[in-house]
Chains A and B, each alone.
Chain A
Amino acid sequence: KAGVTQTPRYLIKTRGQQVTLSCSPISGHRSVSWYQQTPGQGLQFLFEYFSETQRNKGNFPGRFSGRQFSNSRSEMNVSTLELGDSALYLCASGREVGEHGYTFGSGTRLTVV
């Protein structure tokens, strides 16, 4: 079966711009969570969605937001980009909230210049 699909793979944006990243979970999975990976901070949890509702949120500023659609696809948005937002953004899907067998996508590499 198809895995978790994240688009785009790479993205370059300018400071102050906004960006939207997309994640399509495995068919049948209703939980989608997002992580930010940087060399300095490592992997940090952004948020988790289940059935179009945000269930968990990490310690990120309000510039980071997300949503989930009825088909379980999820998007995350970062407004007013800062240089420090440059990172690999990973999405993971699971059947239920707290599903122990999360499957990750290959991520979107965002570079802010």
Chain B
Amino acid sequence: AQTVTQSQPEMSVQEAETVTLSCTYDTSESDYYLFWYKQPPSRQMILVIRQEAYKQQNATENRFSVNFQKAAKSFSLKISDSQLGDAAMYFCAYRRRAGGTSYGKLTFGQGTILTVHP
């Protein structure tokens, strides 16, 4: 079974600074997706960024980028120029890319609460 671990229950950052959230995962699969989701107090899970395991290039979405280390099974999220609106719970998630009965399932980490100080 796949597992996803976020070792930082809480992180804080000053507005305009950079912060990195950590995530490690365990899987025997070679083809999969990794995601970072943001959950603000409104409760809706919002997709921040997605990485395909077969792509060596790290994904980037505006101020958000990842450091994907497949061999180390590490998938960290870097938020640059942090804004007050970035404050939320962040979840790292894993999904098999194709095939099998479980490949539609997302496996989530426990989450990291990010606080942004003005």
- Whether B46 pairs with A98 at a CB distance below 8 angstroms is no
Interchain CA distance A100-B47 in the complex, whole Å: 10
In the assembled complex, how far is the CB of residue A93 from the closest CB belonging to chain B, in whole angstroms? 11
Q: Which residues of A contact B28 (CB under 8 A)?
A: none
Q: Decide: A98 and B50 in contact? CB cutoff 8 A.
A: no
Evaluate contact between A45 and B43: CB separation under 8 angstroms: no
Q: Which of A11-19, A76-84, A101-109 interfaces with chain B? A: A101-109
Q: Count residues on chain B whose CB falls below 8 Å from chain A CBs.
A: 26
Contacts of A92 in B (CB 8 A): 45, 106
> A107 contacts B108, CB within 8 Å?
no
* A31→B44 contact, CB < 8 A: no
Using Cβ atoms and an 8 Å threshold, which residues of chain A touch B45? 90, 92, 104
- In this complex, how many residues of chain A approach chain B with their Cβ under 8 Å: the count is 27
| Complex contact A97–B104 (CB within 8 A) | yes
| A window 50-76: CB within 8 A of B | 50, 55-56, 58
Residues of B within 8 A of A101 (CB): 47, 50
Are B104 and A55 in contact, CB atoms less than 8 angstroms apart? Answer: yes
Instruction: Tell whether, in the assembled complex, residue B42 and residue A106 are in contact, meaning their CB atoms are under 8 Å apart.
Output: yes
Query: Whole-angstrom distance from the CB of A27 to the nearest CB of chain B?
Result: 18
Provided the pairs A100-B33, A100-B95 are in contact, do residues A106 and B105 lie with their beta carbons within 8 angstroms? no
Cβ of B60 within 8 Å of any chain A Cβ, yes or no, is no
Q: Is the CB of A106 within 8 A of B107?
A: no
Instruction: Knowing A90-B45, A101-B47, A104-B46 are in contact, say whether A43-B108 is a contact too (CB < 8 A).
Output: yes
How far is the CB of B32 from the nearest CB of chain A, in Å? 10
CB neighbours (8 Å) of A103 from chain B are 47
Min C-beta distance of B67 to chain A, whole Å: 20
Residues of B within 8 A of A48 (CB): 104-105
